[in-house]
C-alpha cells in the first residue's frame, strides 16, 4: 500500500492555492470565501469526535476550512505515515504490556484508520498486545482500566428488550458479531462482564488479519452475573453483582438474542460464540449451527488451527495422518473440537469414522477417558472417544502406556508436559508432535525451550501463546509455531461475509485447515515453524477466505449472487482500506493561482 504525505504546513497550502484568509479579495467572489461556504454549518466537529472519521492532523487546509474545524487543530499538516511514526514512538514508551494495550485502545477510540494501519504494519509485534496473552490481563483489570464503552452490553434483566438494545447501536449494516458471556475467558475462568475485551480483540483481528470492515462488526457481552467472588467484592467491577444465572432463563435470553440478530441484520449475519463455559458452548453450538449463521471459535476455530499444524507436521514425520495416535491433556470444548475435526481429516485416508476415533484418546481431571470408568462420569461429548482400556490415572502413565505420536494440551494446566513426558515422547517417536495450546502463556503445558531441549530439537512444537525463538546447543535456532486462532477465524469470517453464507458447516474448518497447512513452506518447516509467520497472516487469511467462498458456492450455501469467477479477486475487493477518506467538498471551486 502506498502512502504519500501532504504539505507540512497549512501556510504552504494557502500559498499554493493563492488563498488569503485575512482578506476576501483573493481573486474570487465573496461567496468563494470558506467562511461563507455552504459547508460552514456542517457538523465538522463530529468528524473529529468520531474515531471512524477522525484523521487528526491529516485533515487538509481545504477540509479544515470547509468543514468548520479550522483552528480546532494545530496548524501543522501531518500525513498518516507521520502519524504512524508518532504513534509507534509513544507505544514503545509504555513501560509494560498492559499500558501498551491501553495506549493502542486509546488510538482505536480516537482514530480508527490509524489504529488499523499501526496494527497491520506491526502485526507480529502487536498481536500479543491486542490479543493473547495481554488481553487476558486487560480483562482481569477491565473495571480498573475502563475508559470508554466499546460494543454492547446485554444483561439478563434486558430480556424482552434485546432488539431495542441492538437498535441503539449506531451502525446499521452489521455482518459479524462476536459474543461472549464471560464464563470461561481464555484459561482464566469466569470474568463476567470483564470478558468484553475478548470480543473487542477478536473483531480487531477480523479487520487487521482479513480486512473485514470494522463498521460491519459488533462486539457483544451478555452479562448473566458471575461466580467470581473476587469480582463480586471489587467495587470497580462493572458487571451485574449477582451469581451467574444457569436456569432456563439463560437459554431463553440467548434464544431471544439470536432471533433479534436475524431480525435486525438478516439470516446471513455471522455470530461467533467466544469463551462460553463448556456446557453452554457445546449445547448452543448444537442448538444453533443448523439454524443460524454461527460458529464457536473455541471449538471449531481452535480445531482448525490445530489440525493445520498437525497436517503440516506430517511433511517432517513422514507418516500418514491415519498412522498417528493422539493423546489430549484436557477433554473440554477445545479438545473435543480438535478431536472431532481430526476424525474428519483421518477419514480422508480411507478409515471409517469408528476406526478414526480409535486414534484419539483423552485425559481429563479423572484420568484417561475409557469405557466403564469407575471414577468420574463421561458426558456425551467425551463418550465417542472413550475406548475399551484399563483406567489410567495420570497423563505420564497414559503416555508410557499408549505411546502416542502426538500430545495436545488444552486444559490450561501449567507444566502438565513435564520433562519426563517430553523425553518419553522423544524415546518412541523420531519427531514427536507436542502442542501446548493453552492460553495465556502462564497456562501453557510447557515452554518452547523445554520442548525443544528435552527432544534435542526434534519435536514438532506449537503453542497457543507466543514464545521467543530457541537457540539449541548445536547452534540451530528454531521458531516455535503459534497455533493462534487468528490464522483461521478472520479468513473464514471474511469468506462467510463475502459469500453471504447462511449456515457454517464443520467441513468449512477442515478446508481452512488444509489451506493453512498448504501455506507452510519447506523453509518454514526447516526453521521449526508449523505455521507461516504471523506477519503474513493477512495474505493467508485472503487465501482461506477465497477457499471458504469456493466451498460456499460449491455446496450451495452462498446467498450472494451471481457467483464470482475469480474467488480470490472477489475477496480482495471486499477488504477494508486504512487510507483516510477525502472530505474536500466537490462542489467548491478553489481560487486559481495568481
User: Which residue in 202, 382, 547, 567 is the catalytic one?
Assistant: 202
Query: What is the rounded CA–CA span in Å between residue 383 and residue 356?
Result: 14
Give the active site residue among 116, 131, 206, 551. Answer: 131
**408, 436 Cβ separation under 8 angstroms:** no
Could you tell me the maximum CA-CA distance found in the chain, to the nearest angstrom? 96
Q: For residue 322, what is its C-alpha cell?
A: 491415519
CA end-to-end span of the chain: 36
Single out the residue of 122, 115, 100, 130 nearest to residue 55, CA to CA.
Answer: 115
288 is catalytic: no
Residue with cell 478414526: 356
Q: Are 184 and 275 in contact (CB under 8 A)?
A: yes
Give backbone dihedrals phi and psi of 477, rounded to 5 degrees, phi first.
-110, 125
Return d(Cα 445, Cα 232) in angstroms, integer: 30
Rounded to 5 degrees, what angle do the CA atoms 487, 491, 495 make?
160
> Nearest CA to 224 among 292, 277, 285, 163?
277
d(CA 12, CA 7) in angstroms, rounded, equals 7
Nearest-10 crossing angle of helices 197-210, 123-130: 160
Look at strands 270-273 and 217-223 and give their pairing. Answer: unpaired
Q: Residue 508 half-sphere exposure, CB side, CA atoms within 13 Å?
A: 36
Residue 246 CA to chain centroid, in angstroms? 27
Active site residue 576: no
* Residue 368 and residue 328 in contact, taking contact as beta carbons nearer than 8 Å: no
The contacts of residue 231 (CB under 8 Å, 6+ apart) are 143, 191, 192, 194, 237, 239
Segments in 172-215 forming alpha helices (H): 197-210
Q: Which residues contact 69 (CB under 8 A, 6 or more apart)?
A: 44, 45, 47, 48, 59, 63
Q: Strands of 270-273's sheet, edge to edge?
A: 152-155, 217-223, 176-180, 270-273, 294-296
The torsion region of residue 529 among left (phi > 0), alpha (psi -120 to 50) and beta comes to: beta
DSSP H or E run through 470: strand 470-471
Q: Which residues are catalytic?
A: 131, 202
Amino acid at each position: 500500500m502506498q502512502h504519500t504525505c501532504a504539505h507540512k504546513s497549512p501556510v504552504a497550502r494557502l500559498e499554493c492555492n493563492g488563498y488569503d484568509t485575512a482578506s476576501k479579495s483573493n481573486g474570487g467572489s465573496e461567496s468563494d470565501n470558506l467562511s461563507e461556504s455552504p459547508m460552514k454549518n456542517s457538523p465538522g466537529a463530529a468528524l473529529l469526535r468520531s474515531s471512524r472519521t477522525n484523521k487528526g492532523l491529516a485533515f487538509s487546509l481545504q477540509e479544515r476550512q470547509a468543514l468548520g474545524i479550522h483552528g480546532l487543530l494545530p496548524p501543522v499538516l501531518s500525513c498518516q505515515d507521520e502519524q504512524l511514526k508518532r504513534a509507534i514512538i509513544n507505544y514503545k514508551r509504555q513501560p509494560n504490556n498492559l499500558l501498551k494495550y491501553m495506549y493502542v485502545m486509546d488510538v482505536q477510540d480516537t482514530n480508527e484508520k490509524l489504529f488499523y494501519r499501526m496494527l497491520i504494519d506491526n502485526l507480529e509485534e502487536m498481536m500479543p498486545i491486542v490479543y493473547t496473552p495481554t488481553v487476558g490481563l486487560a480483562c482481569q483489570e477491565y473495571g480498573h482500566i475502563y475508559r470508554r464503552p466499546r460494543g454492547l452490553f446485554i444483561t439478563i434483566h434486558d430480556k424482552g428488550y434485546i432488539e431495542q438494545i441492538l437498535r441503539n447501536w449506531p451502525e446499521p449494516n452489521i455482518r459479524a458479531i462476536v459474543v461472549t458471556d464471560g464464563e470461561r475467558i481464555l484459561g482464566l475462568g469466569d470474568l463476567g462482564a470483564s470478558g468484553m475485551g475478548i470480543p473487542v480483540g477478536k473483531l480487531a483481528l477480523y479487520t487487521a488479519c482479513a480486512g473485514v470492515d470494522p463498521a460491519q462488526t459488533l462486539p457483544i457481552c451478555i452479562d448473566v452475573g458471575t461466580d467470581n467472588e473476587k469480582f463480586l467484592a471489587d467495587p470497580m467491577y462493572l458487571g451485574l453483582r449477582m451469581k451467574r444465572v444457569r436456569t432456563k432463563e439463560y437459554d431463553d435470553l440467548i434464544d431471544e438474542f439470536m432471533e433479534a440478530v436475524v431480525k435486525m441484520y438478516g439470516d446471513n449475519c455471522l455470530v461467533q460464540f467466544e469463551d462460553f463455559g463448556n456446557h453452554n458452548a457445546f449445547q448452543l453450538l448444537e442448538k444453533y449451527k443448523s439454524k443460524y449463521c454461527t460458529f464457536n471459535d473455541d471449538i471449531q476455530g481452535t480445531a482448525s488451527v490445530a489440525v493445520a499444524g498437525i497436517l503440516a507436521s506430517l511433511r517432517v514425520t513422514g507418516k500418514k495422518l491415519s498412522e498417528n495416535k493422539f493423546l489430549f491433556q484436557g477433554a473440554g470444548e477445545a479438545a473435543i473440537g480438535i478431536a472431532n475435526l481430526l476424525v474428519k481429516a483421518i477419514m480422508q485416508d480411507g478409515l471409517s469414522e469408528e476406526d478414526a476415533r480409535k486414534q484419539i484418546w483423552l485425559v481429563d481431571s479423572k484420568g484417561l477417558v475409557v469405557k466403564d470408568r469407575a471414577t468420574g462420569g463421561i458426558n456425551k461429548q467425551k463418550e465417542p472417544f472413550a475406548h475399551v482400556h484399563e483406567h489410567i490415572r495420570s497423563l505420564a502413565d497414559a503416555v508410557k502406556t499408549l505411546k502416542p505420536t502426538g500430545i495436545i494440551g488444552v486444559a490450561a494446566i501449567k507444566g502438565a508436559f513435564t520433562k519426563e513426558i517430553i523425553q518419553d515422547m522423544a524415546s518412541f517417536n523420531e519427531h514427536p508432535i507436542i502442542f501446548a495450546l493453552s492460553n495465556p502463556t502462564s497456562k501453557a503445558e510447557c515452554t518452547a525451550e523445554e520442548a525443544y531441549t528435552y527432544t534435542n530439537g526434534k519435536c514438532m512444537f506449537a503453542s497457543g501463546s507466543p514464545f521467543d525463538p530457541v537457540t539449541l546447543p548445536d547452534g540451530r535456532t528454531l521458531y516455535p509455531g503459534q497455533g493462534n486462532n487468528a490464522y483461521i477465524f478472520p479468513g473464514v469470517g471474511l469468506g462467510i461475509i463475502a459469500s453471504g453464507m447462511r449456515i457454517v458447516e464443520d467441513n468449512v474448518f477442515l478446508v481452512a485447515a488444509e489451506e493453512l497447512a498448504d501455506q507452510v513452506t519447506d523453509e518454514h518447516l526447516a526453521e521449526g515453524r508449523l505455521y507461516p509467520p504471523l506477519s503474513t497472516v493477512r495474505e493467508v487469511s485472503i487465501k482461506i477466505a477465497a477457499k471458504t467462498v469456493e466451498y460456499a458456492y460449491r455446496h450451495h450455501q452462498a446467498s450472494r449472487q451471481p457467483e464470482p469467477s475469480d474467488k480470490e479477486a472477489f475477496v480482495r475487493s471486499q477488504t477494508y482500506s486504512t487510507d483516510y477518506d477525502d472530505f474536500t467538498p466537490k462542489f467548491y471551486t478553489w481560487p486559481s493561482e495568481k
